Amino acid sequence: MQHTQTLKFDIISALDSLPEESLQLLFDFVAFLQVRSKPATQQKPVIKLGGLWEGTATITDEDIAEARLEMWGNLGEREL
């Protein structure tokens, strides 16, 4: 604990010798460190997609080709 207090004091003392531009960089870096040190539990949960289509009908390449032909078969053939 004493070492931490001494380190904080040394850091604060060193700030007086830095130019304003460096202070801004230091502020940005501290913000980065704060985000990085947040516990991982605050992250969004991972949604597993394995088995998402389990139990659905089997779709073949031919089924997809037929559906595409139905949907897009005449595209560009009609005049407006």
Please check whether residue 56 lies inside any domain of the structure. Answer: no
**pLDDT grade, residue 12 (50/70/90)?**
very high
Question: What do you get for the CA distance between the two ends of the chain, in Å?
Answer: 79
Per-residue pLDDT reduced to its tens digit, 21-56: 999 999 999 999 998 887 766 677 888 888 888 888
Please check whether residue 71 lies inside any domain of the structure. Answer: no
What's residue 65's pLDDT?
92
Please check whether residue 18 lies inside any domain of the structure. Answer: yes
pTM: 0.44
Tokens of residue 3, six digits: 């070492």
Count of domains for the chain: 1
What's residue 74's pLDDT?
76
Please check whether residue 72 lies inside any domain of the structure. Answer: no
Residues 6+ apart with CB under 8 A from 46: none
Please check whether residue 60 lies inside any domain of the structure. Answer: no
- Domain of 6 in residue numbering reads as 2-42
What's residue 50's pLDDT?
86
Half-sphere exposure of 61 (CA within 13 A, CB side): 0
Q: What percent of the chain has pLDDT over 90?
A: 50
Q: What is the pLDDT of the chain when averaged over all its residues?
A: 87
Please check whether residue 9 lies inside any domain of the structure. Answer: yes
